[in-house]
Amino acid sequence: MSTKLREDPVLTPVVHTPEEPEGLRIVKVEEEENHTWEQKPGRLGNVHTYEELLCQRFRQFCYQEAPGPREALRWLQELCQKWLQPERHSKEQILERLVLEQLLSILPEVVQARVWEYHPRSREEVVTVLENLETELEGKEQQVQASARCKQEALWKEVRPASLTN
């Protein structure tokens, strides 16, 4: 009897099941307790927080993962509730979370990664990080442009015919 590794898209984390006949599913689940919007370091690899993992599961859920439309809808509902935790957060907090997630999702990937390095928790923190990154990038862009001008001038001096320099 071999062992397969399965993951239920709604349940947390890894599920081990022995090979079973088609249609029968034995599931052992270890639920994470005390979900907060704070960081749980060292547990999720590239995902910075447990909430990011939940958001990622919600956003990347595929219809084909569910046996039918009712299950797909139920699983999406459960994933969304686990991610947003409406029983623990106000409407304003949930709205802010959705807006922040959308803002971050429309940024270029490189900028997204840089923003996540700072683990922003509010609109104001995200805006501050983005403004600082823009300032930093503008400074680097000006340095690159100045360096390019210097190189171009040096090259021009090297290739300029002697008759033009007199």
Mean pLDDT of the chain: 72
For the chain, what is the domain count?
A: 2
For the stretch 72-82, pLDDT in tens is 999 999 999 99
pLDDT of res. 118 = 86
Quick one: average pLDDT of 111-127? 87
Q: Do 77 and 106 have their domain in common?
A: no
pLDDT-wise least confident of 14-28, 70-84, 91-105, 127-141: 14-28
Q: What angle do CA 55, 60, 61 make, to 5 degrees?
A: 100
Q: Do 40 and 59 have their domain in common?
A: yes
Is 0.85 surpassed by the pTM of this model? Answer: no
For the stretch 14-34, pLDDT in tens is 333 344 444 444 444 444 443
Phi, psi of 122 (to 5 degrees): -145, 170
CATH assignment of the domain containing 37: 1.10.4020
What the block records as the tokens of 136 is 């930093």
Q: Do 8 and 37 have their domain in common?
A: yes
Q: Do 28 and 67 have their domain in common?
A: yes
Q: Do 74 and 105 have their domain in common?
A: no
Closest-CA residue to 11 (of 78, 67, 92, 105)? 78
pLDDT of res. 34 = 39
Domain that holds residue 111: 93-166
- Evaluated on CA atoms 99, 105, 106, 107, the torsion sign reads positive
For the stretch 50-75, pLDDT in tens is 888 888 899 899 999 999 999 999 99
pLDDT of res. 122 = 84
Domain boundary among 40, 73, 89: 89
